[in-house]
Amino acid sequence: MGQVNGKKLLQRIAELEAFENLLLIPSNLPFRREKLINNKDIWSIRINQEYRIIFKAMEPSEDLRLIKSIEILEVSKHYE
């Protein structure tokens, strides 16, 4: 992952902690919050063009305003 990407990962985690709920995480760049295909409770945000943070909602809901806590599952190198 490297030092630069590691710093960006820590920055993204701090930014995630600052959002009150999942709806407030932008679905456009640079975050690009998106639900993973075929899995309604697993989401991702971008660290950069290469890496994503994969996470799940601790209390899943169709109303993203009600999702206030997540569990990070992995850091994924996109398309690998």
CATH number of 2-77: 3.30.2310
Over residues 37-73, the pLDDT tens digits come to: 887 789 999 999 999 999 999 999 999 999 999 999 9
Domain coordinates of the chain in residue numbers?
Answer: 2-77
Given a cut of 90, whether residue 21 has pLDDT beyond it is yes
Task: List Cβ neighbours of 26 (8 Å cut-off, separation of 6 or more).
Answer: 32, 33
Higher pLDDT pick, 39 / 36: 36
Return the percentage of the chain with pLDDT > 90, whole number.
Answer: 82
Query: What pTM value is reported for the model?
Result: 0.90
